[in-house]
Structure 1
C-alpha cells in the first residue's frame, strides 16, 4: 500500500491510499534468497510483470476478437501476412469472391461518363 496525505494548514485533511507493486529491488532481494541460482537478466532478455493476453482466442471481456476469420494476405511479409503469428499457427482458408468494378468507361456528352459493371473474381484469405 502507498498513501498520500492532502495537507491543509499543515494538517492531513484527506488521506488517499492505493495498492501498488513493491519496489523492484525489494522484490528481487526477496526472490534471490528463495533461489540462489537466480541470476540477473541480460540486456537481451525480456521481463514482464503479468502474462500477456492471448490474441489467438476470442475474449469478449478484454475486447480481443481472436484470430478465426481474420483477413490475411499470402503475398505479404508484413503484419497482414498469413503467417504463424497472424493466424496463430492454424493456417488459413481460401475463398473466391466476385466483386464488381467499373470498366469500359466512355465519355458521353460533356462531363458525363458512362461505365459498365464488370465482374472481377479475387481470392480472399482468412485465418482458420
Structure 2
C-alpha cells in the first residue's frame, strides 16, 4: 500500500508574485484522491500472479505457477495460495459466508445486496426500532427525551 501511495504522489506548484507574476515558485508533492490509489491497487490485485517455489540447484526460488504467465517483476502482486470463496461458509478458512449478512437493497455500491450477497437472493423483513426522539434540554442540566417507535425494512442475504 505504501508503495502505491508513494508512486501516486504528484508534483504541484504555486506561483507567488505581484499581478500573477511568478517571482517565487513553491512546489510540493501531493497525494491524488484515495479513489485513484484504490483503483491502482485493485488493478494490480486483479492481475496478481500465482507463484510456487521451485528448486534451482541448491536454492529455492519463486516462479510463476504456470509457464503461460511469463516472468514477474517487483511491481507485480504475487500470491502462493488461492483465496477462499468468502461468499461460502468455510470454517477452515474462518469465512462466515454471506448468509444472514445485512445489505442495502437500494445501493449499487459495495454495500448493495447484489455485491454483499454475491449475486444470491436476499430476504426483506420489517423490524420495529425503539429510539430516543424529541429530545430537549431542561434547565439545569439534563436532556429529556421521549421514546419513539419506528418501523424499518431490513434486507438480509439468504
TM-score normalised per structure 1: 0.60
Per the alignment, residue 53 of structure 2 pairs with 21
Question: Cα RMSD (Å) of the superposition?
Answer: 3.0
Give the equivalent residue in structure 1 for 2:127. Answer: 97
Within the candidate set 57, 71, 80, 2:102 is matched to 71
Between structures 1 and 2, the one with greater helix share = 2
Between Structure 1 and Structure 2, how many residues are aligned?
A: 95
Q: Against the structure 1 CA distance between its residues 40 and 108, is the aligned structure 2 distance closer, same or farther, given a 3 Å change threshold?
A: closer
Check if 1:124 corresponds to 2:154. Answer: yes
Greater relative contact order (Cα < 8 A, sep 6+): 1
Q: Larger Rg: 1 or 2? A: 1
Distance (whole Å) between structure 2 residues aligned to residue 65 and residue 89 of structure 1: 16
Q: Secondary structure at the match of 1:80?
A: coil
TM-score (norm 2): 0.50
Residue of structure 2 equivalent to 1:10: none
List alignment gaps of at least 5 residues for structure 1: 1-19, 29-37, 42-46
- Is residue 2:49 matched to residue 1:55? no
1:79, CA displacement in angstroms?
A: 1.6
Which runs of 5 or more structure 2 residues have no equivalent in the other structure? 1-51, 55-60, 72-77
Secondary structure, aligned partner of 2:92: helix
